[in-house]
Amino acid sequence: MERMLGERAGPGGPLRRGTAPAPARTGPAAGAGGEPVIAARGLTKRFRGGQLAVDALDLAVPRGSVFGFLGPNGSGKTTTIRMLMGLIAPTSGSVRVLGRPMPGAVRDVLPEVGALIEGPALYGFLSGHDNLVRFDSADPTADPRTRTDRVAAALDRVGLATAARKKARAYSLGMKQRLGLAAALLRPRRLLVLDEPTNGLDPQGMREIRTLVRELASDGTTVFLSSHLLDEIEQVCTHAAVMARGRLLVQGPVAELSAGARGRLAVTTPDTTVAVRVLVEHGVAGIAVAGDRVTGELPPGEAPDLADLNAALVRADVRVRAFGAERASLEDAFVALTGEGFDVAG
């Protein structure tokens, strides 16, 4: 459901392909290794004027996971990320990143964290290459003797080697996202925090970023990925958390979150009008018709037996060409948790 498409990635070219990524890890194995990479307890942020942006959030990001952070516009997602990274102080509660308290240990922690938050801050008058040189020079822990090689490797990894000498002001939005990601990859990181990393990329660019994220995770980097694209989270993440109105609703392995939602009944038939009537009579709600396909939500509790429901359609002379319950998606789980659709604008 990648409904937000931007301009093409431009002349930067595809990301460099590495070896095939390891299969996505789910469940306890992904969190093996002791203390979570990110641990928040009672994290709260109240701005001046009394606005409560984040309300008593408890969050645990397992070591080695690809952790998706979901929330519609105004849910407190970006405020949470800024507190996790020590960019703003919480009103109350505590945060530990890589086992150290934030923001107190920010100088020790941030060199081990690569971050792309709210889009990259670039110098438009500098080339992509020179932007990375500037960023790396500002890092007191970076070895200047290896800077040239590391900058070249980061540009190559995100597919910007051929556009390295082009001014950043001439980069497309997708290319700017790639350059921001390259800055986060200038040196090995234990944790990578990405806020909307595929913003502005075409579908091919999105796939390449997903592949890169999987490769980084297979190399041992924990990836914390904020996105409004539910399909993106479902395809690449091992774990996820869902926020709404400043509160954390649920967190856990992606497979378990999806399994907690009811799937939808799907019927393919040329007799959609009669099929809708029969399904409504048997308690099916939220019915939608698209062409010759009818979908709906089975009622909670004692739902009708699917075989009996199929038989009722046949008795009503509905020509059933396909019938069954579809697997619940992460979007289904989100709607079930929040009672609202997902806001693709943020």
Q: Which two tokens stand for residue 315?
A: 């008795």
Query: Given this model, what pLDDT does residue 32 score?
Result: 43
Helix (H, G, I), strand (E, B) or coil at 199: coil
**In the chain, where the domains are located:** 10-259, 264-327
User: Of 116, 285, 112, 307, which is closest to residue 197 (Cα–Cα)?
Assistant: 116
What residues contact residue 243 under an 8 Å CB cut-off, 6+ apart? Answer: 57, 69, 70, 71, 75, 76, 77, 80, 249
Query: Given this model, what pLDDT does residue 300 score?
Result: 61
Does 3.40.1080.20 match the CATH number of domain 264-327? no
Residues 88/106, Cβ–Cβ less than 8 Å: no
What residues contact residue 11 under an 8 Å CB cut-off, 6+ apart? Answer: 162, 163, 166
The whole-angstrom separation of Cα 193 and Cα 222 is 9
Instruction: Write the DSSP symbol of residue 167.
Output: B
The whole-angstrom separation of Cα 139 and Cα 144 is 10
Helix (H, G, I), strand (E, B) or coil at 335: helix
* Low-confidence spans in the chain with pLDDT less than 50: 1-32, 342-346
Residue 279 half-sphere exposure toward CB, CA atoms < 13 A: 30
Q: Which two tokens stand for residue 109?
A: 């922690």
The whole-angstrom separation of Cα 129 and Cα 176 is 12
Query: Given this model, what pLDDT does residue 252 score?
Result: 87
Q: Produce one character per residue of 322-339: b if its CB has 16 or more CB atoms within 10 Å, e if not.
A: ebeeeebbbbbbbbebbe
Residues 284-310: pLDDT tens digits?
888 889 899 998 877 665 556 788 888
The whole-angstrom separation of Cα 113 and Cα 87 is 13
Provide the CATH topology of domain 10-259.
Answer: Rossmann fold (3.40.50)
Q: Produce one character per residue of 83-116: b if its CB has 16 or more CB atoms within 10 Å, e if not.
A: bbbbbeebeebebbbbeeebbeebeebbeebbbb
Length of the chain (residues): 346
From the number of C-beta atoms within 10 Å of its C-beta (0-12, 13-18, 19+), residue 224 rates as buried
Q: Which two tokens stand for residue 276?
A: 């809708």
Query: Given this model, what pLDDT does residue 81 score?
Result: 92
> Mind spelling out the 3-state secondary structure of 100-135?
EEECCCHHHHHHHEEEECCCCCCCCCCEHHHHHHHH
The whole-angstrom separation of Cα 72 and Cα 335 is 11
Q: How many CB atoms neighbour CB 26 within 10 A?
A: 17
Residue written as token pair 């390259």: 182
H/E element, 202: none
Determine the angle formed by the axes of helices 173-184 and 128-137, rounding to 10 degrees. 30
Cis peptide before 304 (omega within 30 of 0): no
